[in-house]
Amino acid sequence: MYKNYTRQLRVPKWRAAKLGLIMRLTFVILLATFMQVSATGYAQKVTLSKSNAPLIIVLGDIKKQTGYNFIITERLLKTANPVTIHVNGLELEEILDRIFDLQSLSFQIESKTVIISKKVPSFWDVLADRWASIDVHGIVVDEHGLPLPGATITVKGTGKKAISDSRGEFHLKNVDEKAELVISYLGYESKELRVAKDMRTIKLTPIEGNLDDVVISGFGIKQIKKDLTGASSQISGKEISTIPVQSFDNALAGRAAGVQITSSSGLPGAAVTVNIRGISSITAGTQPLYIVDGVQVISGDNSRQFASSNALAGINPDDIESINILKDAAAASIYGAQAANGVVVITTKRGKSGKTQINFNSSVGISKVIKKAPILNTAEFIQLSKEAIVNRYGSLTAAPTSVQTLLTSFGDPATAPTYDWQDAVFRTGLAQNYALNATGGNEKTKFFVSGAYNKQIGQEIGQDFNRVTGRLNLDHKISEKFSFETSLNLSSFTQNGTTGGTAFSNPNRTAILTAPINAIYNPDGTYNTLLYGAYPNNVVQTAAYNIQRANTKAVVGNVVLNYQILPDLKFRSSFSENYSYIAENSYTDPRTPDGASVNGSASVANTTFTDFNTDQTLNYSHIFNQKHKLNVIGGFSYKQEVNEGNNASGTGFPSYQFKTLQSAAVKTDANSFYTAYKLAGYFARADYSFNEKYLASATVRYDGSSRFGSNKRYGTFPAGSLGWRISKEDFLSKVSWIDELKLRGSYGILGNSSIGNFASRSLYQGSGSYNGQPGISPTLGNDDLSWEQAATTDVGVDFSFFKGRLSGGVGAFRKKTTDLLLSRNLPITSGYSGINTNIGKLKNEGIEIELNTINLKSTDFEWSTTLNATFIRSKLLELNDGLQQLNSTYFVGKPLLSYFVVEYAGVNPADGNPMYYDANGNITYNPTAADRKIVGSQLPKGYGGITNTFRYKAFTLTAFIQYQYGSKINNVDAQFNRRMGSTIDRNQDISELRRWQNPGDITDTPRPYYNTGVPAAAQSGGITYLSPYGATSRFIEDGSYIRLKNINLSYRFPVSWLGTTIRSLQVYAQAYNLVTLTKFTGLDPEVQGSTSGIVPQYKNYTFGVQLGL
């Protein structure tokens, strides 16, 4: 006996059964019946979650869960539509009804076998077809105009349906001309339209704040967003793919709450500073852990000679699918001892089943320096110089003869030319980017392959960046139980730069300070090398002649094997390696002032990092009684990093044509090093939900590191979190405007192991020559040296209201770091200056807000806004042995990275001399060290970003604003070019024209005095004045700013215009760093700490095209 489920199949049961025996079978799916696996014990209820999956894959999953075999001919299988279905614990019969309701196929169950055949239309279907009068055609696209394959198009009130193909197209025959179509797609709002022969392009709108999005958090863990109980932020790869920066971390600035990105240099490919929820350490590392496709990648600036280089620049931003930033202990604790500073999980694009798709993204743009310093022309320079001399000596004729001669050499202010060194140093840069990728595959093998080339000619002479990348992501299903995946990224990038910091050969700094009376070129076109002033280098010459170069080659790859032990139990084995090689080369030409004294100099440095990781995990996932959802993962992780390098230098070259070290007459230095460390850990995590309403998660990790003392080498890092989806409660079921409302809270402990590899060890190290003999020096270890621990408490609420028109989250956090890794001073008689130990405490606490709104919405127009804001405070809580201060930036009870200086009180209106406040708040002219006070912190009190997106038909305009407030910047550059003309050996800022000149003048710029800046004792009546260009609060400025970071206008061509070859086409124009509003008077407020000769950032104007085939 068997039950007939064929329903519309109008043939007798015996014929249906016999049909399955006499047909020529060409395909039997799932586990072969010859295995004779008993169906005893298989569940008859099925859980599925598939989107646009081939029918064969869906039936295969049913086979695994029920034990039923399926029989279908190859010809019928080719006619099957992709299946989209999301169900939990339904009966087999109901599952099959849903699947075949959208197919031209029917099914019949006989014993433990399901026979699939062509559906015979019912009498009513035939009758309806006869009365229908039109055939319908259309194209379904997303909000960007891209095709939506697998969309369901239903004739309302009938069973007639169609599925859109890979180009988004669909066809329906014999449709009543008065009927309506319902177009639906997972994650998008359904749309109802009156039929027409040509429905043209039908655009669907995504459901905003979709809480069914999948979030990847490492170790293969995937969670639905609505089930998260930890604090994390997600950024789509689409948001950053076209931004003209060399590394993706730079593009994240202002796009996630709790994440501060600081780009302190405009040098192409420079490193950036990333702080997640503040700075959690003083001497240990403060940067987050980066995971790319499960691989822990090397990050930061690992160069040893070059000004600044970013290891993450080897990853092509166009390859990135999504970025998930893990901020609290509940989200990040599975990484244990490496997660105190947060974790950034990057997922790159992977292949999808279907026809191979090719995507090309190209952009070309120009860049200019974001701001030039306003400095004096020659006439103003001479006037200020004269005034400073008169104030010092009483008159020009009373000045020493040498001073008078010098002033005369400047020329006549009315006729002397001005030479603009900034115009010579800064230029219009060129940015080019070309990225090509292909993706496709079938149900067994999927691939994503890409290649990209990026070139940027910097806005400052002598600087450029060239990168080539290639990526291959491959997924292959070996059998129903075995599959593997692999990712491989190859990159090579070269940076050319110039000397940075306060060096005389730093082009942008010296261009500001070089006296404007100095010509750049001689009349014959050669470089002028006889420059007057304190800055003798012709930086245009040095940028052309000298070499500062770094080339980084990197390989990031992994292989993952998955074995489905049971339907609910999977083993995952991952092996990965990140290899990086940095070759640096510098050369100082003998024709430059720096090279002339030694007849040229050169140096080379080679550095390699080899980072091996392996993770072995078991993952169990099951739903009990349709209400209890449990996911458990446990595993082992091992990491080994080896860092080694060598360097050499020499001087004395035959001529400037010889630039390699082999030509150096004197080898001045040769050195090499090797260092390594290992980290191993066990971890377990359990995520539980009851009735999709009550959520809980618990994680524990046990880590051991070779970096720590033998007594404290291992540490345990636990975390737990709870969530309550209030919107699922009955008392809110009738509140129609609440889509989702969830409370969450977490607590956990994370570790920081970012210290020297041998900081805990008592060792001997080679120290080279000691009085001509080989020497070694000892280091003092500490067997009790252990991890810094960051205990994080987090509470928050996530919500979605008014059908996604308003969504987001609000959270509060407190992160307390204990056992700070610091050096304790030792008596000099010990023979050691200090010993590394765990002392001190600090905390960061704040509030985070993320909001998404749809402000206006109509058929052709939409305006949406995304906003994030962070309000944060830091405080040093404790130091060792009752100390209240650590150097001049850390004070117990005060914010981290404080400025501790004498407070500037302005200018005395009576005599124009500088004034200061003493410790009691009284005016003084000559403050002492005891008068210093804290005048602010390098860290901001708040930061964030706002994105407004306007869409009108095929046009999209996006404007992104980044902001920061409450930080202070030490404008060191101003200490050198705001000297009121007192030091006449350099140019000055134009602000010095507002110097004090007459009694009663109200100004912040003191009276100039030649060479000293203050009156001599004989002039001041015995009063001693502190120099007005010393390290005081005069140069500590407000670093708050609002910046129009990015504005992008794009047009996506309608699919109907593109023919059969082109799948999609979009053109766009954008501007980057367009406008900045700030009180900061330096070149760029987007710095942390000191300006000190940094390369200012750039404005960029780009045009691009994105093509899909």
8 Å CB contact between 751 and 787: yes
Amino acid at 234: Q
Q: What are the start-end ranges of the E strands in 479-543?
A: 482-496
In the block, which residue shows the tokens 């995507």? 359
DSSP-H helix ranges across 295-437: 329-332, 378-393, 401-409, 421-425
The angle formed by the CA atoms of residues 574, 578 and 579, to the nearest 5 degrees, is 145
* Rg, the chain, Cα only: 35
In sequence order, what are the beta bridge partners of 632?
A: 620, 686
Number of Cβ within 10 Å of residue 134's Cβ equals 16
**Residue 173 to residue 1067: CA distance in whole angstroms:** 36
DSSP-H helix ranges across 240-377: 248-251, 329-332
Q: Which of 166, 218, 475 is closest to 322 using CA atoms? A: 218
Q: Which class is domain 123-203?
A: mainly beta
The pLDDT tens digits of the residues spanning 906-964 come to 999 999 999 999 999 999 999 999 999 999 999 999 999 999 999 998 899 999 999 99
How large a percentage of the chain has pLDDT more than 90? 44
**Residue 555 to residue 486: CA distance in whole angstroms:** 13
- Band of the pLDDT at 999, cuts 50, 70, 90? very high
**Residue 1052 to residue 1038: CA distance in whole angstroms:** 42
Residues 6+ apart with CB under 8 A from 750: 329, 332, 333, 336, 337, 339, 340, 717, 719, 789, 790, 792
Residue 1018 has what pLDDT? 65
The pLDDT tens digits of the residues spanning 430-474 come to 999 999 999 988 888 999 999 999 999 999 999 999 999 999 999
Reduced to 3 states (helix: H, G, I; strand: E, B; else coil), residue 397 is coil
- Band of the pLDDT at 220, cuts 50, 70, 90? low
In sequence order, what are the beta bridge partners of 1079?
A: none
8 Å CB contact between 874 and 843: yes
Q: Residue range 1058-1066: average pLDDT? A: 83
Sign of CA dihedral 966, 967, 973, 975: positive
Q: What are the start-end ranges of the E strands in 165-299?
A: 169-175, 180-184, 191-194, 198-203, 214-216, 222-224, 232-236, 259-262, 273-276, 289-292, 295-296
Which range in 446-460, 497-511, 729-743 is most confidently predicted, on average pLDDT? 446-460
Residue 101 has what pLDDT? 77
Q: Which of 21, 121, 35 is closest to 71 using CA atoms? A: 21
Q: Which of 739, 808, 742, 1103 is closest to 946 using CA atoms? A: 808
Lowest-confidence segment of 40-49, 285-294, 329-338, 934-943 by average pLDDT: 40-49
Reduced to 3 states (helix: H, G, I; strand: E, B; else coil), residue 216 is strand
The angle formed by the CA atoms of residues 549, 550 and 554, to the nearest 5 degrees, is 160
- Strand 134-141 and strand 198-203: the pairing is parallel
The pLDDT tens digits of the residues spanning 827-857 come to 877 777 788 888 889 999 999 999 999 999 8
Amino acid at 53: A
Is pLDDT at 762 greater than 90 in this prediction? no
**Residue 500 to residue 849: CA distance in whole angstroms:** 38
Which range in 11-20, 207-216, 279-288 is most confidently predicted, on average pLDDT? 279-288
**Residue 969 to residue 1078: CA distance in whole angstroms:** 12
Structure tokens at 798: 């996530």
Query: What pTM was estimated for this model as a whole?
Result: 0.79
Sign of CA dihedral 375, 378, 381, 387: negative
CA atoms within 13 A on the CB side of 619: 19
Q: Which of 433, 601, 409 is closest to 515 using CA atoms? A: 409
Q: Residue range 284-297: average pLDDT? A: 88
**Residue 814 to residue 817: CA distance in whole angstroms:** 10
**Residue 991 to residue 1005: CA distance in whole angstroms:** 8
> Is domain 356-370+426-897+938-976+1036-1108 classified as CATH 2.40.170.20?
yes
The pLDDT tens digits of the residues spanning 960-993 come to 999 999 999 999 989 888 888 888 888 999 999 9
Structure tokens at 197: 């022969």
The angle formed by the CA atoms of residues 1082, 1083 and 1089, to the nearest 5 degrees, is 65
Sign of CA dihedral 305, 307, 312, 314: negative
- Strand 968-970 and strand 1089-1090: the pairing is parallel
Is pLDDT at 34 greater than 50 in this prediction? no
Residue 171 has what pLDDT? 87
**Residue 784 to residue 524: CA distance in whole angstroms:** 69
Structure tokens at 72: 């279908």
Q: What are the start-end ranges of the E strands in 762-860?
A: 764-770, 773-778, 788-801, 806-818, 821-825, 834-838, 841-857
**Residue 820 to residue 790: CA distance in whole angstroms:** 10
CATH number given to 229-352: 2.170.130.10
Residue 26 has what pLDDT? 34
- Band of the pLDDT at 29, cuts 50, 70, 90? very low
The distance of Cα 1041 from the centroid of its chain, to the nearest Å, equals 21
Q: Residue range 782-810: average pLDDT? A: 90
The angle formed by the CA atoms of residues 1027, 1033 and 1039, to the nearest 5 degrees, is 140
Lowest-confidence segment of 128-137, 380-389, 720-729, 837-846 by average pLDDT: 128-137
**Residue 296 to residue 556: CA distance in whole angstroms:** 9
Is pLDDT at 212 greater than 70 in this prediction? no
Q: What are the start-end ranges of the E strands in 293-421?
A: 295-296, 320-326, 343-348, 354-369
Q: Residue range 256-274: average pLDDT? A: 85
Amino acid at 363: S
**Residue 144 to residue 807: CA distance in whole angstroms:** 21
Residue 964 has what pLDDT? 94
Reduced to 3 states (helix: H, G, I; strand: E, B; else coil), residue 340 is coil
The pLDDT tens digits of the residues spanning 194-211 come to 888 788 788 887 665 444
CA atoms within 13 A on the CB side of 138: 26
Domain segments of the chain as ranges: 13-118, 123-203, 229-352, 356-370+426-897+938-976+1036-1108, 378-425+977-1015
Residue 144 has what pLDDT? 64
The pLDDT tens digits of the residues spanning 273-282 come to 889 999 989 8
What integer best gives the mean pLDDT of the chain?
86
DSSP string across 406-461 = HHHHT--TTT-----HHHHHB--EEEEEEEEEEEEE-SSEEEEEEEEEEEEE-SBT
Residue 137 has what pLDDT? 87
Q: Residue range 359-372: average pLDDT? A: 92
**Residue 55 to residue 1088: CA distance in whole angstroms:** 56
Is pLDDT at 32 greater than 50 in this prediction? no
Structure tokens at 856: 């206006």
Is pLDDT at 715 greater than 80 in this prediction? yes
Q: What is the DSSP letter of 1060?
A: T
Phi and psi at 272, nearest 5°, equal -120, 165
Amino acid at 886: L
- Band of the pLDDT at 322, cuts 50, 70, 90? confident
**Residue 883 to residue 840: CA distance in whole angstroms:** 10
| Cα end-to-end span (Å), the chain | 53
Binning the chain into helix, strand and coil, the percentages to the nearest 5 are 15, 45, 40
The pLDDT tens digits of the residues spanning 645-676 come to 999 999 999 999 999 999 999 988 889 999 99
Answer CATH for 13-118 from 3.40.50.300, 3.40.50.720, 3.20.20.300, 3.55.50.30: 3.55.50.30
The pLDDT tens digits of the residues spanning 550-587 come to 999 999 999 999 999 988 899 999 999 999 999 999 99
Residue 309 has what pLDDT? 81
**Residue 178 to residue 157: CA distance in whole angstroms:** 12
Residue 542 has what pLDDT? 92
**Residue 1013 to residue 385: CA distance in whole angstroms:** 12
8 Å CB contact between 889 and 842: no
8 Å CB contact between 75 and 62: no
Q: What is the DSSP letter of 22?
A: H
Residue 127 has what pLDDT? 52
